[in-house]
Amino acid sequence: MRIVLLGPPGAGKGTLAGVLKDTLGVLHVSTGDILREELKANTPLGQEAKKFIESGGLVPDEVVTKLIKNKLTNDSRAKDGFMLDGYPRTVNQAKDLDNILDKLGMPIDCALYMEATLGTILARLTGRRVCRGCGKIYHIVNMPSKKDGVCDSCGGEIYQRADDNEETIKNRMKVYTDSTAPIISFYEGQNKLKKVNADKDSQEVKEDALNIFNGSR
């Protein structure tokens, strides 16, 4: 299956992809994760992306589209299906993605819109923690690690993302409303849009999403 996960920051896209990638046998591709890796390695791309990520703005379309094109073209696992998380984030990116996938003969099957209320989003983003080693996502209240500050999966250090602060979150929400939310109608127009109530707990979200994906095959 080829899936796009849509929804505001903090809706639970990365978490859902993390729990479903093995069940569905698909590749999880997160542009946020790729960009953070580039930043950590201090590559020219990471240096270019830094100011956008830190302010909560968007990295230019052509930069992220190139990353996605390379990944979907060169990673042989993409042929078995993928779940995109955090891309596309603008209507331009959605159009570019369609062009890329058209050429590869691998069109999107389903765009899942993870709908969440503002209270949920804020509580999730402010309490989010991430493993520095493997990227596993935690929440200080909803999904804590067994041992404080230590990843259950790899033993890595758990940290708070620099952009998960109140000021940057405000900016990211505005960017989401202005630039990303219009993608919902884009996929609605293609009859590919499905919705899930992302306010629910993660087990329920997972089951609802699985039912939707099984119905879209």
Q: Which residues are catalytic?
A: 13, 89, 128, 161, 172
Q: In what order do the strands lie in the sheet with 2-6?
A: 27-30, 82-85, 2-6, 110-115, 193-197
Give CA separation, 14 vs 21, 86, 96, 202, 206, in Å: 10, 8, 22, 11, 12
The answer to the question of residue 165 lying near ligand ADP (CB under 6 A) is no
Stretch that binds ligand ADP, among 21-29, 40-48, 139-147, 185-193 (CB under 6 A): 139-147
DSSP 156: P
The answer to the question of residue 194 lying near ligand ADP (CB under 6 A) is no
Across-strand partners of 111? 4, 193
- For residue 93, the minimal CB distance to ligand ADP (Å) is 6
Stretch that binds ligand ADP, among 37-45, 53-61, 103-111, 189-197 (CB under 6 A): 53-61
- For residue 104, the minimal CB distance to ligand ADP (Å) is 18
Rounded CA gap, 134 and 118, in Å? 28
Stretch that binds ligand ADP, among 30-38, 95-103, 182-190, 207-215 (CB under 6 A): 30-38
Query: Buried (b) or exposed (e) across 173-200, using 16+ Cβ within 10 A?
Result: bebbeebbeebbebbeeeebbbbbebbe
The answer to the question of residue 210 lying near ligand ADP (CB under 6 A) is no
Cβ neighbourhood burial of 100 (10 Å; 0-12, 13-18, 19+): middle
The answer to the question of residue 135 lying near ligand ADP (CB under 6 A) is no
Count residues near ligand ADP (CB under 6 A): 36
The answer to the question of residue 59 lying near ligand ADP (CB under 6 A) is yes
The answer to the question of residue 3 lying near ligand ADP (CB under 6 A) is no
Rounded CA gap, 179 and 197, in Å? 21
Give CA separation, 183 vs 10, 112, 118, 180, in Å: 17, 11, 19, 6
Q: Closest residue to ligand ADP, Cβ-based? A: 32
Residue whose CB is less far from ligand ADP, 24 or 56: 56
Binding string, residues 105-124; x marks residues near ligand ADP by CB under 6 A: -------------------x
The residue ranges that bind ligand ADP (CB under 6 A) are 7, 9-15, 31-32, 35, 52-53, 56-59, 64, 85-87, 89, 93, 124, 127-128, 137-139, 142-143, 163, 172, 201-202, 205
